[in-house]
Structure 1
Amino acid sequence: MNNPKVSIIVPCYNQAHYLDVALQSVLNQTYFDWECIIVNDGSTDNTQELAEKWILKDNKFKYLVKNNGGLCSARNFGIEQAQGIYILPLDADDKIAESYIALAMGAFEKDMDLRVVYCHAEKFGLETGAWNLKPFSLFNLSQNNMIFCSAFFKKQDWIAIGGYDTNMVHGWEDWEFWISLLKNGGNVHQLEEVCFFYRINPNSMLQKMNLEESKQMMEYLSIKHIDFFVKHYGSFKALSQETERMKHDFEEKLKSEKFVIDVFFKKFFGFSIFGKYK
């Protein structure tokens, strides 16, 4: 298929056992004008075997292979090859509702100033139920991330901000991406429907960001987006105080074993602290 309107990017690193569910949810879409790019980020499992099966099933599936470089690198690699006007990242262990693309394209058609379209979400796997996140606002975004990775944006906007920042090596890559994309304006729309399903799996709990890593990422974010944070906290002093408050709050709560478990499910400081992808 030439020039699809939507490109779905599925990075995969040793997640072949989940891949069928994610790709089936893509194939089930009621909206036809899409391509799905599977990016094998140096997997050592049978990702290639499964990907080739899906290519034979439908030629809208495409397969790319690269050396392992992490989630940001894999997403960027796939988006570079994408032919679509709109991009939808989808992690290999998650899934989407069959109406997601159709509803999102309808939203973009109604508002040409939209930069991001996302939806309501539910968890599945080890935990089920609604994934309750704060409503979007730039101020809320300055405090925490509330837009999961599987949201729609335009490829031209991805190009304009330089893609996903590969310096976000420990996590929070989605938070940084949305700040880069939205801090200078652009509308955001959340669909009323539940269209994204986020898998809670055992490996997620083994890959948490430690205090030193979180400090590094917070310092990097604060420097890169100092204009954004100062705008919402009022001054360098207020920004410093807020950073110290967040750090202290995080350290205190990490002392509680109960919180360490709870933080995984509630995604304190953004859902990437316990990233599923390494």
Structure 2
Amino acid sequence: MMSIQVSIIVPCYKQAHFLNESLLSVLAQTYTNWECIIVNDGSPDDTERIAEQWSARDNRFKYLKKENGGLSSARNAGIASSKGEYILPLDADDILHEDYLTFLVPELQQNSSLAIVSCYSNFFINNRSNIIHQQKPIGTTYHALLYENNMMASSLYHKKYWEEVGGYDENMKDGFEDWEFWIAITKKGREYKFVEAFLFYYRKSKKSMFIDTLAHHLESNMEYVFKKHNEIYIAQFGTTMEYLFSLIKRHHASEHKIKKSVEYKIAKIIAKPFRIFQKLMIKK
């Protein structure tokens, strides 16, 4: 019996309404030597029923249930129980092109210097024919990952590197855990590659972990990554300082633009009587 080559890890938390579509894209893979581990991360929705249906439908689908611990914890649990040489994380609301594994697996098989293989991405709303944006990232070393994550979470990599770096950082519960993970793997000189084909579909929604991360946790996550991997940022001290000061300038420019806007001026006028009243109350 052929050993399992790829383990696809699908954590699910409150995404049961998308899960069938995601798993259908796994089943449709033209490369067939895979297992798919569906990880129920303590989800309060219909995840268990759907996962059990898929496990009964095809024995390559496995079901794992655990207490809620966040995305990193769910991925680590799934990978720990996996049997594949390569790992592919897949979020429960995203979709693989049917040739994803057919294109990417040979890249890792044929090039021993590669730790990770990724591809170009389509961003869609509602259905995958409604493409609103396309991403064609570049880069081969950690230097291209230092200040932003241009590699999608659903990239294919050697399981041995997950073991080496200790898995996904479970302290990172507010996003960017994949960015930190890629840096941890590549900072010792290992390379990655982008296959120049649109083989992945990323679902854009008004409410998502990524949107919440950008709105509320961007700075704290960046600070965590910078401190955890401080040696590579210190080695790039000049570039790091330029980047951080550019963020400060961008923030000030945005703040200035808001203060110059008509809406801000109107709000300031409306609020003026309340400020006067507040001052009078303080004097009393």
Query: What is the TM-score when the length of structure 1 is the normalising length?
Result: 0.84
Aligned equivalent of 1:245: 246
Aligned equivalent of 2:87: 87
Q: Distance in 2 between matches of 1:54 and 1:14?
A: 17
Aligned equivalent of 1:272: none
2:138 aligned partner, one-letter code = P
Aligned equivalent of 1:269: none
C-alpha offsets along residues 13-40 of structure 1, whole Å, 9 cap, x if unaligned?
0111000010000000111110000000
Change (3 A) 1:247 1:40: farther
SS of equivalent to 2:98:
coil
SS of equivalent to 2:62:
strand
Aligned equivalent of 2:131: 128
Q: Percent sequence identity over matched residues?
A: 40
Change (3 A) 1:94 1:256: farther
Change (3 A) 1:157 1:202: same
2:147 aligned partner, one-letter code = Q
Aligned equivalent of 1:10: 10
Q: Distance in 1 between matches of 2:159 and 2:251?
A: 35
SS of equivalent to 1:209:
helix
Change (3 A) 1:190 1:254: farther
Contact persistence 2:174–2:209 (CA under 8 A):
no
Tell me by how many angstroms 1:123 deviates.
1.0
- Matched positions, count: 254
Contact persistence 2:90–2:154 (CA under 8 A):
yes
Contact persistence 1:72–1:166 (CA under 8 A):
yes
Tell me by how many angstroms 1:256 deviates.
7.3
1:152 alignment partner, one of 148, 152, 156? 156
2:25 aligned partner, one-letter code = S
Larger relative contact order, structure 1 or 2 (CA cutoff 8 Å, min sep 6): 1
Q: Distance in 2 between matches of 1:206 and 1:172?
A: 8
Tell me by how many angstroms 1:231 deviates.
2.4
Query: What is the TM-score when the length of structure 2 is the normalising length?
Result: 0.82
Q: Distance in 1 between matches of 2:20 and 2:231?
A: 42
C-alpha offsets along residues 121-145 of structure 1, whole Å, 9 cap, x if unaligned?
1011156244225412433211211
Instruction: From the CA coordinates, give the structure whose radius of gyration is larger.
Output: 2
SS of equivalent to 1:53:
helix
Aligned equivalent of 1:104: 104
Change (3 A) 1:27 1:254: farther
Contact persistence 1:39–1:65 (CA under 8 A):
yes
2:247 aligned partner, one-letter code = M
Q: Is the counterpart of residue 46 in structure 1 residue 50 in structure 2?
A: no
SS of equivalent to 2:18:
helix
Contact persistence 2:125–2:132 (CA under 8 A):
no
